[in-house]
Amino acid sequence: MKLFRRSPKLPPEMRPALEADERILAWATVGEAQDQALVATNRGLWLPGGRRLGWHEIHKAAWSGRELRITPAEVAHERNGYTVLVDAPVVGFLVLEPGELPDQVRTRVTRSVAYTTHHPLPPHGGVRVVGRRISGVNGLSWSVRYDAKTAVDAEPVIEVTDQLVEAAKEASAPPA
């Protein structure tokens, strides 16, 4: 049985502007001065400065024991029924007293992924098709991430990607 220690209350000056149905799951102060916070909610991760990344917008999160490094996803192209994502610049935060924050981030990012599969694309490269849950939204949000050296704008690659996304949508649809 896991015992939870009650964490101190988040100071009001560090509290982000939450939506009506948003609730705080974990938080930790960041940086040497410890005067800012990372706040995990059911909707996403609030960064210092008041920007929230939805769980579906985080491509990777790595915890070193002292630093939380977040790789956000950035939209490179909008296509019919899905987006093409690339990595945005990594942001890192020194977290000296992490509490439950790293576990919540890992759990929430992982839970947002409902479907993922990788497909090789000739002659070089490949594509990962991903369906992710967005907190408060029904259905899945579809995106693709191309491997390096993939001709992402070549018409044959776009056609195959369209087909792969449609097949993924059909495979993940609830039975009628």
pLDDT-derived band at 10, boundaries 50, 70, 90: confident
pLDDT of residue 13: 87
pLDDT-derived band at 3, boundaries 50, 70, 90: very low
Of the listed ranges 2-6, 8-12, 158-162, 171-175, the one predicted with least confidence: 2-6
Of the listed ranges 76-80, 129-133, 156-160, 170-174, the one predicted with least confidence: 170-174
Cα separation, 69 vs 11, whole angstroms: 24
Would the pLDDT of 155 be above 60?
yes
- Cα distances from 73 to residues 7, 56, 95, 161, in angstroms, run 30, 8, 22, 19
Cα separation, 156 vs 160, whole angstroms: 6
Q: Which of 19, 21, 112, 131 is nearest to 60 (CA)?
A: 112
pLDDT of residue 75: 97
Would the pLDDT of 2 be above 60?
no
pTM for this structure? 0.88
